[in-house]
Amino acid sequence: MDARKEHILGAIIKEYTKTAEPVSSGLVFEKCNLGISPATIRMEMLELEKDGFLEQPHTSAGRVPTNKAFRYFVDNLLSQRENALTGSEKEYIKSEINSAGDDPHLISRQIAKSVAKISNNFTLGGIVNTGEFFKSGFSGLFEMPEFQEHERMIRVSSFFDQFERHIDKIFEEFFELDFRVLIGEENPIKDIYEETVIMARYPLPNDNDGAAFMVGPIRMRYDKNIALMRYISNLMNSQF
């Protein structure tokens, strides 16, 4: 993809992430200051649609990014730096984890709580060795527009309620690496195939392995959420 298309796609994804509404070429021109005409933006958006990066909902003249677009955004356009987190957010995370001392159970609970609070997504933090996980952020997730659809809400709720049943498959399928971002259908668990899962694995005290899972809509703040999960992982690796 050439640089101009990348700029337009990045602008559309950022706008869609904020509003959850289809993005028109006129809106890209007005808000994104790309230095090109509306006609050029329209032409490039049509090319992006032909290439599978954008799609047009039936009820709108605007376009929305596809899963392929978000994958491209994460792999090629996203600056994955910890400075997407504020200093106060980092201090809050440190304080919550340090308050748990060397108890791997309390640390896992505090990680789930901290990630859910900052990201407003559903989070699990736990001990891999024992299969014990703590859940946080359930209510915030269902305030998002994606989860107003009844069937989707039921599917995701089922995953949350029966997470323990999925643990073996999760670790078999997901953790070839210590950090992963799975978008939509990349996720092998059918109940959350329309969501994004960000996962990090890290050490815990007493030779335990820890892991955290963030589950949220594909339309999420990838810069912030990836930085958040990487910060947790780096912090735990530095301490244990």
pLDDT per position as a tens digit, 91-117: 999 999 999 999 999 999 999 999 999
49 and 116 in one domain? no
163 and 68 in one domain? no
67 and 164 in one domain? no
**Mean pLDDT for the stretch of residues 31-54:** 91
Contact 198, 225 (CB under 8 A): yes
Number of domains making up the chain: 2
pLDDT recorded at residue 40:
93
Contact 111, 231 (CB under 8 A): no
Q: 56 or 190, which is more confident?
A: 56
86 and 73 in one domain? no
**Mean pLDDT for the stretch of residues 77-82:** 66
210 and 93 in one domain? yes
Contact 147, 155 (CB under 8 A): no
> What is the pTM assigned to this prediction?
0.89
Contact 34, 7 (CB under 8 A): yes
39 and 104 in one domain? no
Which domain range does residue 129 map to?
82-239
pLDDT per position as a tens digit, 166-191: 676 666 666 666 899 999 988 877 77
87 and 72 in one domain? no
Contact 110, 127 (CB under 8 A): no
- Bridge partners, 203 (sequence order): 209
CATH (domain of 198): 3.30.450.40
Domain end, chosen from 48, 77, 106, is at 77
107 and 193 in one domain? yes
Strands 195-204 and 208-217: antiparallel
pLDDT greater than 70 at residue 81: no
pLDDT recorded at residue 172:
67
CATH (domain of 28): 1.10.10.10
| The two three-digit tokens of residue 208, written as one number | 């335990």
88 and 73 in one domain? no
93 and 45 in one domain? no
Domain end, chosen from 34, 56, 77, is at 77
Residue closest to 111 by CA, chosen among 124, 128, 102, 120: 124
232 and 161 in one domain? yes
50 and 115 in one domain? no
- Bridge partners, 125 (sequence order): 134, 212
Q: How distant, in Å, are the alpha carbons of 7, 53, 176 from that of 62?
A: 17, 13, 38
Q: 154 or 127, which is more confident?
A: 127
Proportion of the chain above pLDDT 90, given as a percent: 61
Domain end, chosen from 40, 58, 77, is at 77
